[in-house]
Amino acid sequence: MPYFELKKDEITFPPAYFADIDGLLAVGGTMSVERMLLAYNNGIFYWHYPLKHIKWWSPDPRIVVRPESFEIPQKRWEMLNQEFTVTVDTDFEQVLRGCQQVYNLEGQMDNSWLSERMVRIFMELHTMGKAHSIAIWKDGNLAGGLFGVAIGKLFFGEYLFTTMAGADELAVLCLIDKLKHQGYRLLDMQKQTFFFPGIEYDEMPRLEYVDICKENAKKYKDVPNEF
Tens digit of each residue's pLDDT (9 = 90 or more) over 141-190: 999 999 999 999 999 999 999 999 999 999 999 999 999 999 999 999 88
Fold of 64-201: Aminopeptidase (3.40.630)
Whose CA is closest to 27, among 59, 58, 55, 57?
Answer: 55
- Cβ(28)–Cβ(8) below 8 Å: yes
Q: Is the pLDDT of residue 102 over 60?
A: yes
Q: Is the pLDDT of residue 198 over 90?
A: no
pLDDT at 192: 84
What is the torsion angle, in degrees rounded to the nearest 10, for the CA atoms of residue 45, residue 168, residue 154 and residue 177? 170
**Model pTM above 0.85:** yes
pLDDT over 70 percentage in the chain: 99
Rounded to whole angstroms, the Cα distance separating 107 from 188 reads 30
pLDDT at 2: 62
Mean pLDDT of the chain: 93
Those residues whose C-beta lies under 8 Å from the C-beta of residue 66, and which sit 6 or more positions away, are: 185, 186, 187, 202
Q: Is the pLDDT of residue 111 over 90?
A: no
Q: Is the pLDDT of residue 79 over 60?
A: yes
Q: How confident is the model at residue 49 (pLDDT cuts 50, 70, 90)?
A: confident
Q: How confident is the model at residue 10 (pLDDT cuts 50, 70, 90)?
A: confident
pLDDT at 14: 94
Q: From the centroid of its chain, how far is CA 121?
A: 13
pLDDT over 90 percentage in the chain: 80
- Cβ(161)–Cβ(102) below 8 Å: yes
- Cβ(215)–Cβ(94) below 8 Å: no
Higher per-residue pLDDT: 112 or 197: 112
